[in-house]
């Protein structure tokens, strides 16, 4: 097997605050192969954006990478100097942030920002870079790009701003794109456009994509594999079809069950997972999900579950520990029986 | 109490000047350019009702929201809330009193939270501004209660906005909107930054509050499943106009306008049943130079000459010649 484009091993990120050290990311490992889209989902605050920021070396104090390795094309990048990292960013890694305003300077016209970025990475003339910028805007679906290119960010709708940010990320044709909620603000038809754009990048340019989103529909259509994060850890990771349709981890099951659909009755309350995610300052021992988990038993509040390979899934849950003879019993004696990887 | 709707939007319009800078116009030539972001839309919202706006990115939803709460002056038409005009100078005093009864949750939560304030101060701001609760202890208790309601912890009040994830910030914005005891809340994509479980928690909460306190919502979202869950009536926007308005159930069971049908077909397939998402055909039109006649005609499979020249009126809840002429089937809701 060829080397993955991105390889993250046992990543740990902490925030040092007056209230103590907060472990935002606690031992996260995953790979993304060439041309592959890894979807990342999970509870709000689970650490998806921080993971993305850590990969591109944008954790600002009081945050710090407290351990682990990040490799891009085999080369370690978590220990590069800020200067070297700046070159990697933008050139080899493209970023699309959750909040489009953070990547756009409100004082400059959209075109100026695109042209500048293009010229940092190519030796195109002003006119050539402007032409390329218009092409990129057209590619992300901005109508009348030759006119809108002279607009300021505030003159664009929320969705159009996000598309400008995507165009910015594409400027240098990077080998890895980290897209944090790229389609959150977009309606389904533009969303479909962006998704096919991302997929095409993977197919035609071999770009590896880390796609963070809450939209399970987008994940189902775009991702090859998906990682479900909870409380700074990966609860489950595996091929998208398996994880979305037959999730194993109790949190992943709850998450998939909460997706609102167009078929259920609108009079029903939406399903939600009872309780809320622990705060970083009070992560429970053992499995961080155990206070909310319908299957938890004493072991769950004591031992931290390590990821276990189960069929095509890697799942961090004691229920799937083949060496624990009691685990299976807890799977059966619950109200919502878990079906081991079988579609219901 | 009168029978007038709580919120009345009449022929609302907003034009933006998007001309090239003056110097470029002089040097390169070119006319002044205008963009009709909102081009004559009308709707009512009854007290205690949720009215939703859906539609393509750039169709003018946020611009409508900003005009409804009085953050942006309309170029034409007007908004009346509980009998008070949002524009009439003579009603300035009444409008001032009305303001505290209206809140908005913005599409971009970070931009709407003061980065230098701690979260408890942000959430308490409407309480202090409108003098809703007396006493620091009482205010602090209320803030803690609001933070818990949206799934945060009372202690989170001590932190600054940048210490939170995107979805947590959105919840802070929601807590602040709830703090004012507003009766009418305009929600622009309130839950799109949230994971589905927290989203369910917030939407359930919003519905409970509505049942309990009789809140009225204008709800903007691109997520059709969410809209369907929340709204009793839905307006579908396309290029600054409402092209279809109908009851929630009806819209999903029996969409009439070809654009609505396309929108429903484009919903991603979560069940991965293998259903192919119907590709959305055609380019998104240029709002600066919109197509003549029906704005949807270049992408519409049913367009004929009349569609290309004559703008269809909103009639029987739908603005489409093909539907009015019965050229295409109008499905009936079960
Ligand atoms: N600068 C900071 N200081 C302290 N804590 C922080 C800081 N930035 C993030 N955190 C915390 O780290 C955790 C992970 O945040 P992150 O932004 O990665 O969440 P997320 O999974 O992207 O959530 P969302 O889906 O809501 O965007 C959160 O609990 C957040 O409060
Ligand atoms: N201040 C402004 N100056 C110029 N044009 C503007 C301004 N604000 C909005 N527009 C334009 O008006 C149109 C409608 O924008 P609006 O933000 O209302 O769209 P929207 O329906 O909310 O879209 P989205 O779903 O992407 O948020 C867009 O074409 C946008 O570019
Ligand atoms: S390890 Fe235990 S508590 Fe954690 S998800 Fe599995 S069963 Fe539930
Ligand atoms: Mg995030
Ligand atoms: Mg908007």
Best mutation site among B25, B190, B197, B247 for testing chain A: the one with the most A CBs within 10 Å? Answer: B197
Give average pLDDT by consecutive 10-residue segment, chain B, 334 residues. Answer: 82 87 69 87 95 88 93 93 86 86 81 88 92 92 92 91 85 90 90 80 87 92 86 93 91 90 74 55 69 90 94 93 89 64
Query: What is the structure's pLDDT at A267?
Result: 67
Query: What is the structure's pLDDT at A314?
Result: 97
Q: What is the DSSP letter of A29?
A: E
CATH number at residue A151: 3.40.50.300
Chain B residues with CB under 8 Å of A48 CB are: 165
Q: Which two tokens stand for residue A91?
A: 């050139």
Q: Does residue A1 belong to any structural domain of this protein? A: no
String of DSSP letters for B219-265 = EE-S-HHHHHHH-SEEEEEETTEEEEEEEHHHHHHS--SHHHHHHHH
Examine residue B233 and say whether the peptide bond preceding it is cis (omega within 30 degrees of 0).
no
Q: Is A207 in the same domain as A265? A: no
Query: What is the structure's pLDDT at B322?
Result: 94
pLDDT > 70 fraction of chain A, expressed in percent and rounded = 91
Chain A residues with CB under 8 Å of B280 CB are: 188-189, 192-193
Nearest alpha-carbon partner for A225 in A32, A52, A51, A2: A32
Query: What is the structure's pLDDT at A101?
Result: 61
Q: Does residue A133 belong to any structural domain of this protein? A: yes
Query: What is the structure's pLDDT at A87?
Result: 85
Residue A261 has pLDDT above 90, yes or no: no
Grade residue A1 by pLDDT with cuts at 50, 70 and 90. Answer: low
Check B288 against A147: CB less than 8 A apart: yes
Query: What is the structure's pLDDT at A341?
Result: 36
Nearest alpha-carbon partner for A277 in A290, A296, A295: A290
Query: What is the structure's pLDDT at A337?
Result: 39
In this structure, which residue's CA is closest to atom 1 in ligand 3? A317
Chain B residues with CB under 8 Å of A220 CB are: 268-270, 272
In this structure, which residue's CA is closest to atom 14 in ligand 2? B60
Ligand 3 neighbour A310 (Cβ under 6 A): no
Cβ neighbours for A331, distance < 8 A, ≥ 6 positions apart: A295, A319, A337, A338, A340
- In the reported structure, the alpha carbon of residue A161 is separated from the centroid of ligand 2 by a whole-number distance in angstroms of 10
Chain B residue with minimum CA distance to A181: B193
Q: Does residue A153 belong to any structural domain of this protein? A: yes
- Nearest atom in ligand 3 to the alpha carbon of residue A288 is 4
Q: Is A215 in the same domain as A270? A: no
Nearest alpha-carbon partner for B305 in B287, B325, B278, B283: B325
Q: Give the residues surrounding ligand 1 with Cβ less than 6 Å away.
A: A 15, 22, 24, 42, 44-50, 63, 98, 280; B 162-168, 195
When divided into structural domains, chain A yields a total of: 2
Nearest alpha-carbon partner for A228 in A68, A48, A92: A48
pLDDT > 90 fraction of chain A, expressed in percent and rounded = 47
Q: Is A262 in the same domain as A222? A: no
Domains in chain B: ranges and CATH: 7-324 (3.40.50.300)
What is the CB neighbour count within 10 angstroms for residue B189?
25
Q: Is A324 in the same domain as A201? A: no
Q: Minimum-distance ligand to the CA of A229?
A: 1
Ligand 3 neighbour A300 (Cβ under 6 A): yes
- In the reported structure, the alpha carbon of residue B225 is separated from the centroid of ligand 3 by a whole-number distance in angstroms of 30
ipTM score here?
0.76
Cβ neighbours for B297, distance < 8 A, ≥ 6 positions apart: B291, B303, B307, B308
- What is the side-by-side strand order in the sheet with A313-315? A93-96, A176-180, A208-212, A37-42, A225-230, A233-239, A313-315, A308-310
Mean pLDDT of A78-104: 82
Query: What is the structure's pLDDT at B25?
Result: 66
Q: Is A185 in the same domain as A304? A: no
Q: How far, in Å, CA of A40 to CA of A223, rounded?
A: 9
Which pTM does this prediction carry? 0.84
Q: What residue numbers bound the domain in which A300 lies?
A: 247-340
Q: How far, in Å, CA of A278 to CA of A165, rounded?
A: 32
CA distances from A264 to A258, A260, B80, B200 (A): 12, 8, 35, 14
Q: Does residue A182 belong to any structural domain of this protein? A: yes
A102-111, A218-227, A325-334 — most confident range: A218-227
| Least CB–CB distance from A144: residue in B54, B277, B286 | B286
Query: What is the structure's pLDDT at B172?
Result: 92
Query: What is the structure's pLDDT at A344?
Result: 31
Mean pLDDT of A269-280: 81
Query: What is the structure's pLDDT at A188?
Result: 67
Q: Is A223 in the same domain as A277? A: no
Q: How far, in Å, CA of A292 to CA of A277, rounded?
A: 8
Best mutation site among B15, B38, B196 for testing chain A: the one with the most A CBs within 10 Å? Answer: B196
Q: Is A167 in the same domain as A30? A: yes
Q: Which two tokens stand for residue B110?
A: 């970070």
Query: What is the structure's pLDDT at A334?
Result: 45
Q: Does residue A328 belong to any structural domain of this protein? A: yes
Q: Which of A179, A196, A229 is the last residue of a domain?
A: A229
Check B226 against A260: CB less than 8 A apart: yes
Q: Is A109 in the same domain as A29? A: yes
Q: Is A219 in the same domain as A297? A: no
Q: How far, in Å, CA of B171 to CA of B147, rounded?
A: 8
Q: Is A257 in the same domain as A198? A: no
Query: What is the structure's pLDDT at A295?
Result: 92
Q: Is A192 in the same domain as A287? A: no
Min Cα distance B67 → chain A (Å) is: 15
Helix (H) or strand (E) holding A170: helix A158-170
Q: Which two tokens stand for residue A110?
A: 């959209």
Residues A138-182 pLDDT 10s: 888 888 899 889 988 888 877 778 788 888 888 888 999 999 888
Grade residue A240 by pLDDT with cuts at 50, 70 and 90. Answer: very high
Ligand 2 neighbour B258 (Cβ under 6 A): no
Q: Does residue A42 belong to any structural domain of this protein? A: yes
Q: Which of A229, A255, A272 is the last residue of a domain?
A: A229
Q: Does residue A241 belong to any structural domain of this protein? A: no
Q: Which of A179, A203, A229 is the last residue of a domain?
A: A229
Contact B58, B284 (CB under 8 A): yes
- In the reported structure, the alpha carbon of residue B49 is separated from the centroid of ligand 5 by a whole-number distance in angstroms of 21
Contact B219, B294 (CB under 8 A): no
Size of interface A-B (CB pairs under 8 A): 199
Question: What's the mean per-residue pLDDT of chain A?
Answer: 86
- In the reported structure, the alpha carbon of residue B165 is separated from the centroid of ligand 4 by a whole-number distance in angstroms of 5
Q: Does residue A239 belong to any structural domain of this protein? A: no
Contact A22, A14 (CB under 8 A): yes
Residues A120-145 pLDDT 10s: 878 889 999 999 999 989 888 888 89
Q: How far, in Å, CA of A161 to CA of A177, rounded?
A: 18
Q: Is A273 in the same domain as A196? A: no
Q: What is the DSSP letter of B158?
A: G
């Amino acid at each position: 097997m060829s080397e993955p484009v991105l390889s993250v091993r046992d990543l740990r990120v902490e925030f040092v605050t007056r209230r103590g050290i907060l472990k935002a990311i606690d031992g996260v490992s995953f790979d993304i192969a060439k041309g592959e889209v890894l979807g990342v989902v999970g509870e709000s605050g689970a650490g998806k954006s921080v993971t993305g920021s850590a990969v591109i070396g944008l954790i600002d104090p009081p945050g710090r990478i407290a351990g682990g390795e990040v490799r891009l094309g085999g080369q370690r990048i978590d220990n590069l100097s800020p200067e070297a990292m700046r070159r990697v960013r933008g050139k080899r890694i493209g970023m699309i942030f959750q909040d489009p305003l953070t990547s756009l300077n409100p004082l400059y016209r959209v075109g100026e920002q695109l042209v500048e970025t293009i010229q940092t990475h190519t030796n195109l003339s002003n006119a050539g870079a402007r032409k390329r910028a218009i092409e990129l805007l057209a590619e992300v679906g901005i109508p009348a790009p030759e006119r809108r290119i002279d607009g300021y960010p505030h003159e664009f709708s929320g969705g159009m701003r996000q598309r400008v940010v995507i165009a910015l990320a594409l400027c240098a044709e990077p080998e890895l794109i980290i897209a944090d909620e790229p389609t959150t603000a977009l309606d389904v038809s533009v969303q479909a456009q962006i998704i096919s754009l991302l997929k095409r990048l993977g197919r035609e340019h071999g770009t590896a994509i880390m796609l963070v989103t809450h939209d399970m529909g987008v994940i189902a259509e775009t991702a090859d594999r998906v990682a479900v994060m909870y409380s700074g850890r990966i609860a489950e990771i595996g091929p998208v079809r398996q994880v979305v349709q037959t999730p194993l981890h109790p949190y992943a099951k709850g998450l998939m069950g909460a997706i609102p659909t167009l078929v259920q009755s609108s009079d029903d309350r939406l399903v939600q997972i009872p309780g809320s995610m622990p705060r970083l300052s009070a992560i429970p021992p053992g499995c961080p999900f155990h206070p909310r988990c319908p299957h938890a038993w004493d072991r769950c509040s004591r031992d931290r579950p390590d990821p276990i390979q189960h069929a095509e899934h890697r799942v961090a849950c004691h229920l799937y520990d083949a060496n624990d003879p009691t685990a299976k019993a807890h799977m059966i004696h619950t109200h919502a029986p878990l079906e081991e990887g079988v579609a219901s | 109490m009168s029978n007038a709707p709580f919120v009345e939007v009449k022929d609302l319009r907003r034009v933006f000047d998007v001309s090239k800078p003056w110097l470029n116009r002089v040097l390169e030539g070119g006319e002044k350019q205008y963009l009709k972001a909102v081009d004559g839309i009308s709707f009512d919202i009854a007290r205690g009702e949720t009215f939703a706006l859906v539609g393509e990115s750039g169709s003018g939803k946020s611009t409508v929201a900003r005009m409804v709460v009085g953050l942006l002056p309309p170029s034409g038409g007007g908004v009346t809330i509980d009998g008070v005009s949002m524009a009439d100078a003579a009603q300035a005093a009444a409008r001032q009193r009305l303001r505290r009864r209206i809140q908005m949750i913005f599409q971009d939560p970070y931009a709407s939270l003061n980065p230098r304030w701690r979260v408890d101060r942000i959430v308490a701001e409407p309480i202090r501004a409108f003098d809703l609760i007396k006493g620091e202890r009482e205010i602090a208790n209320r803030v803690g209660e609001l933070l818990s309601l949206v799934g945060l912890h009372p202690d989170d009040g001590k932190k600054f906005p940048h210490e939170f994830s995107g979805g947590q910030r959105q919840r802070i914005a929601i807590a602040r909107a709830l703090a004012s005891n507003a009766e009418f809340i305009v929600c622009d994509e309130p839950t799109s930054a949230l994971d589905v479980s927290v989203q369910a928690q917030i939407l359930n909460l919003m519905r409970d509050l509505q049942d309990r306190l009789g809140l009225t919502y204008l709800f903007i979202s691109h997520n059709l499943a969410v809209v369907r869950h929340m709204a009793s009536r839905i307006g579908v926007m396309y290029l600054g106009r409402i092209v279809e308005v109908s009851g929630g159930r009806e819209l999903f069971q029996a969409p009439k306008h070809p654009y609505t049908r396309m929108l429903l077909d484009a919903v991603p397939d979560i069940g991965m049943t293998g259903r192919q998402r119907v590709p959305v055909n055609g380019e998104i039109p240029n709002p600066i130079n919109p197509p003549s006649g029906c704005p949807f005609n270049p992408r519409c499979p049913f367009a004929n000459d009349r569609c290309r020249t004559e703008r269809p009126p909103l009639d029987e809840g739908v603005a489409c010649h093909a539907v009015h002429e019965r050229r295409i089937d109008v499905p009936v809701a079960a």
